[in-house]
Each structure stands twice: as C-alpha cells, then as structure tokens.
Amino acid sequence: MPAPALFLVSGLTLYAGAAVAVGLFERIGAPAVGWWRIVLAAVVLVAWRRPWRRRWSRRALLLAAAFGVALAVMNVAFYIGIDHLPLGVAVAIEFCGPVVVAAVTGRGWRERGAIVVAAAGVVLLAGVTLETVGYDDAVVGLLAIATAAACWAGYIVLGKRVAGAGAGIDSLTVGMVAGALVLAPFFGHTAAVVVPDLGMLAFLLVVALCSSVVPYVLDQVVLRRVGTAAFAVLTALLPATAVVVGAVVLAQVPTWPEVVGLVLVSGAIVMTARAR
C-alpha cells in the first residue's frame, strides 16, 4: 500500500480514537485519559512484540525511551488541548511542530516561507478561538497544544532515527513503556477508579488501539519508507481528517475563519511538499 494511503488510515483511526476519548474526560480528566491511552497501548504492544527477545544496546534503549517520553507527553498535552479547543483547531495548531521540522530539514525558500504561512494560519485560528471558547479555555488549550506541537517535532525526529535502526515497532513498544512509567507518578492514582470499572477500561482500550497502536505502528512503517521532511509533508492529510471527524462525531462544525486558518496551515505543508 502506498505511504500516503497508510498515513490516511493512520489519521482516521487516530482522530476517531480522540473523539471517543472526549467522552471520558469528565470521568477521570483529560490528562489521565491520555496517560491510560499510553499504558494500555504499551500492554498490547508488549504482549504482541515481546521486545525482551531482542538484544538491546544502551544507546538503543535510551533512544527508544526518549522517543516514548516525547510521545507520552505529546498525548497528554494534546488531550488537554482538545478538552478546551475544537478538535480541528487543535490539530491545525499542533501542526507547527511538523512544519518546523520540514522547514529546518529543508533548504529552499518555500520551506522557510512555509513557517510564515503556518504562523498566519495559527494566529487566525487562535484569534477565532479566543472569541468562541472564552479567554481562559483558549489560553489553557493553546499552551497545551503548543507543548504537543513541540513534542510532535521531537516525535518525528526521534521516530525517524528509531525506524532507521531497523527495530521501529519494538522500539515503539519500549518507548511506550518508558513513557507510561515516567508519567505514572502523576496519574497512577486514577487506577483506583479505572480498573474496577470494566466499561471505562473497555473504552480506554478502544482509545489506545485506535489512537496509539494502529497509527503509531503505521507511522513506523511509513517512516522506514520516507524521509523526515517527507513524513512531515504527509501530515498535511491530518487537519482535514480531524475536521471531518470533529464535525461528524463531535458536531464541531468549523466557521469560515477557522476554515481559512486550516487551509493556511495545510498550505504551509504543501509548500514544503513542492519544495521537495
């Protein structure tokens, strides 16, 4: 299957899982849902891959752990963001991470100009958000999404190195475990609420499968086929995916100014694609 088709499947499952996760925010909080997504995804991947069968160097373990911590923090920050912002807006603003990666790893004027175009889209989206969701929600949401964007940039760079080492999915498994353990002191107390509630645990497992296991495994497949900048370019498919899922599942229909902002952000990614 072509890399763009794999990436589209990854995006659809990713944001379908996010839409399911929104319904759990009121019960244990958005950050805790993000952590449980990592925990359950790690359990599934460990049972599948059994990474202890592979010989690991210290460097490979440290790289996988760094990759997993960036991934875990990105997930928690993203869930805080979509708890305060519409899904499509949050995803578009989070795109600052991939845009910066594509611009820094590229060398042409289009890639540099893409940062300006993306920044214009983000400013427009942020302005609209301040008016529609309120100042307090907007500030918390924007700060969380900015954190997620920085972590996404790290995820792309570290993910390419992990995939290039030839142990992408096994390293992803180790990284998931590391990320879950690092954040456990902050969210481990929610186990008293989640574990006895089999219904909630089942929904969290759906979130983990849809938003972590399937898309991140496919990401490792795609990253082995394409370069870091090209992977960042493929993420242009994601804002439209998030908007569609948000509109259909969460009834978050974007306004025209939001659509313009989304188009600008996607246009920034297309600019880097043309430069390539």
Q: What is the pLDDT of residues 66-88, one digit of tens each?
A: 999 999 999 999 999 989 888 87
Q: Give 96's contacts (C-beta < 8 A, 6+ positions apart).
A: 118, 119, 122, 146, 149
| Region 126-142 average pLDDT | 77
Dist. CA 208–CA 101, nearest whole Å = 26
* pLDDT single digits (tens) 43-62: 999 998 888 888 888 888 89
Give me the helix-helix angle, 214-225 and 135-164, nearest 10°.
50
Greatest C-alpha distance within the chain: 56
Confidence tier at 116 by pLDDT (50, 70, 90): confident
Confidence tier at 183 by pLDDT (50, 70, 90): very high
Q: Which residue has the higher pLDDT, 211 or 219?
A: 211
| Region 154-161 average pLDDT | 83
Give residue 166's pLDDT: 60
Q: How far is CA 16 from the centre of its chain?
A: 13
Dist. CA 213–CA 217, nearest whole Å = 6
Reading the block at residue 201, the tokens are 């645990």
* pLDDT single digits (tens) 84-109: 888 878 888 887 787 777 777 766 67
**Which sign does the torsion angle of CA 118, 131, 238, 18 carry?**
positive
Q: What angle do CA 85, 132, 35 make, to 5 degrees?
A: 10
| Region 247-259 average pLDDT | 77
Q: How far is CA 245 from the centre of its chain?
A: 15
